[in-house]
A = this chain, B = another copy of it.
Amino acid sequence: MGVDFNLQREFDIIAIGRACIDLNAVEYNRPMEETMTFRKYVGGSPANIAIGISRLGLKAGFIGKLADDQHGRFIRQYMSDAGVDTSHMVIDREGHKTGLAFTEIKSPEECSILMYRDEVADLYLQPSEVSEDYIKRSKILLVSGTALAKSPSREAVLKAVQLARKNDVKVVFELDYRPYTWVSEAETSVYYTFVAEQSDVVIGTRGEYDVMENRQDGKNEETVCHLFGHSPELVVIKHGVDGSYAYTKSGEIFKGQSYKTKVLKTFGAGDSYASAFLYALIKGKDIETALKYGSASAAIVVSKHSSSEAMPTVHEIEQLISERAEEKS
Contact = CB atoms under 8 A, between A and B. Distances in A.
Contact of A159 (B69, B71, B95, B190): B190
Interface in A97-143: 97, 100, 102, 104, 114, 116, 118-119, 126-128
A33 B74 contact: yes
A151 B100 contact: no
A158 interface: yes
A31 B155 contact: no
Tell me the interface secondary structure of chain A in the complex.
Answer: mixed
Contacts of A128: 184, 186
A152 interface: yes
A94 B160 CA distance: 31
Nearest to A72: B33
Interface stretch (A10-18, A36-44, A294-302, A317-325): A36-44
A264 interface: no
B97 A183 contact: no
A119 B126 CA distance: 22
Contacts of A97: 116, 118
Contacts of A187: 127, 151-152, 155
A254 interface: no
Interface string A26-52: 100001110111111000000000000
B39 A39 contact: no
Interface of A: 23, 26, 31-33, 35-40, 69-71, 73-74, 77, 95, 97, 100, 102, 104, 114, 116, 118-119, 126-128, 151-152, 155, 158-159, 162, 180, 183-184, 186-187, 189-191, 193-194
Given A32-B74, A127-B187, 7 more contacts: A31-B70, A37-B37, A69-B114, A70-B102, A100-B116, A116-B116, A127-B189
9 contacts: A32-B74, A33-B70, A37-B39, A70-B114, A97-B116, A126-B186, A151-B151, A151-B183, A162-B194
Instruction: Rank and list the top 7 A-B pairs by shortest CB-CB distance, nearest first.
Output: A32-B70, A127-B186, A118-B119, A118-B118, A33-B74, A155-B190, A158-B190
